[in-house]
With several copies, the nearest count.
Chain A
Amino acid sequence: MNKIEAIIRPERVDKVKDALAAGGFAGLNVVNVVGRGTQKGVVYQGRAGEKYTVDMLPKTKLELVVADADTDKAVDIIIAAARTDNIGDGKIFISPVTQVVRVRTGDRGDGAL
């Protein structure tokens, strides 16, 4: 199994979530983060007109664990729904998960997903 961590624009969360559900990926977690990427930061005007470069911008991180075979499909769904073609669209990271357990039943393995 793989864990997909997708860091996307907050305003695209609903769209991505719905697209994933439509693609059969119900399970996921969402958490708000602040992130910095290769984008140089947004120039921002303070209360008194002074200029700041804010490099840490609010992003939303989606985490979902999927079976190996489904990984590419899920990633493609996320990209399709999250992409605006502008800098700051975000990143997706994939890492291995060795075991999954359903708390309610104690079941393990792919079936517990």
Chain B
Amino acid sequence: MPEISGGDTAWVLVSAALVLLMTPALGFFYGGMVRHKNVVSLILQTFIIVGVISVSWVLWGYSLAFGPDKWGIIGGLDWVGLRGVGMEAGPYSDTIPHQAFMIFQAMFAIITPALIVGAFAERIKFKTLLIFTVLWSTFVYSPIAHWVWGVGGWLGNYGALDFAGGTVVHISSGVAALAAILVMRKRLGFGRDAMEPHNVPFIVLGAALLWFGWFGFNAGSSLAADGLAANAFVVTNTAAAMGALTWMTMTWCLGGRPSAVGAASGAVAGLVAITPAAGFVGPVSAILIGLGAGAFCYLACRLRAKLKLDDSLDVWGVHGVGGTWGAIATGLFATAAIGGTDGLFYGNTSQLWTQLAAVGVTWAFSFTMTIIILKVLDWTVGLTVNEEEENRGLDLSQHGEAGYRL
């Protein structure tokens, strides 16, 4: 039996810390993009999701997602309250403590619902958000995580490749965002008032910390400090860079000026797209994946605006579309030399179909479940604040706190 490896454990624990940081970073990325009267609300929403899911994951979420498999579709309740999840190695890695794997995965479970808050920013009721988060994490995130990554999960068995969460994290949340805005009313003044970012430095701060944390997200998913981790690290950085360059160039060519918000958004788009591919593709492919991410996500956001959908912070455009592109790109650019499986461009057509199937299933499941959850919440606690509260801003009306007193 291999022993716990200090190097691998150090790497996975550091990676978990890095991914933890991503959720508050997202709070700044989102918080900078809204109007100043809603900055506290966005930052608190993401921050408190760290609180909520950290606890629910320990209590039941981890068991549902990674616990002993039931019929390929869900984990059992054997590990509820982390019973049996100890300081020795577990079924997911021989060289790191089971708890290290658990907490690394906790960070993914945390950030996924946090991504969604960008969709209904500036109008959701805080209480509703909390309930939504618990329900969505339990009934959408845990199942999908089990399908793709759980021992015995059917999508994983089927051969779908998702190194670090293109389907599990990004498509699931991006599509939930799309579902949410179809159910929920728009912001007052949407389409008429300029709702420009109130703090561009915060946006870039958030994007930079996301980039930093994403090394843990992707390279940590190797679960070992090895060559595969190094490869994932390299392609992550490369795709992020290319995404930033591409989106910024698009704003330059189509909008007249190179935009900082565009560069930041493009970096995130590139990071999203490389996520499923990070353990399967090389650096030159990463350049193309980042290029595609910057272009497709930018165009998706424009389309969204054309369709007059109020996805406040373009969660669908970035995570839904970026995740989908990444999952497909994995089927295109994967090479057996890196991750053991070839994609279309290396002669293996079937992988692309597998990827498309996994994408389709994730879209359908997340979309349907999100609609159901939100409809129930609409009939019970209500979804959005009232007009007076929205005009004053959520910071004062929901939290009694002004963002800044300068």
Contacts and interface: CB of A to CB of B under 8 A. Distances in A.
Interface of A: 10-12, 14, 44-50, 52, 54
Contacts, number: 45
Most chain A CB inside 10 Å of its own CB: which residue of B193, B194, B196, B305: B194
Most chain B CB inside 10 Å of its own CB: which residue of A44, A46, A52: A46
Given A45-B256, A46-B195, 18 more contacts: A12-B391, A14-B189, A14-B391, A44-B194, A45-B400, A46-B194, A46-B305, A47-B33, A47-B196, A47-B259, A47-B261, A47-B265, A48-B301, A48-B305, A48-B317, A49-B254, A49-B255, A50-B302
Nearest to A47: B261
B304 interface: yes
B90 interface: no
Interface string B228-257: 000000000000000000000000001110
B314 interface: yes
Contacts of B72: none
Contacts of A48: 301-302, 304-305, 314, 317
Q: Is the interface of A mostly helix, strand, loop or mixed?
A: mixed
B305 A50 contact: yes
A18 to B, nearest CB: 10
B301 A52 contact: no
B264 to A, nearest CB: 11
A113 B241 CA distance: 51
Interface residues of B, number: 27
B197 interface: yes
Contacts of B189: 14
A44 to B, nearest CB: 6
B392 interface: yes
Interface in B134-189: 189
Contacts of B301: 47-49
Contact of B194 (A10, A11, A49, A54): A54
20 contacts: A10-B392, A11-B391, A11-B392, A14-B193, A14-B391, A44-B194, A45-B255, A45-B400, A46-B196, A47-B33, A47-B259, A47-B261, A47-B265, A48-B305, A49-B254, A49-B255, A49-B302, A50-B302, A50-B306, A52-B194
Interface in B263-316: 265, 301-302, 304-306, 314
A47 B194 CA distance: 10
B3 interface: no
A45 B400 CA distance: 9
B230 to A, nearest CB: 35
Nearest to B256: A45
Contacts of B392: 10-11
A52 B195 CA distance: 9
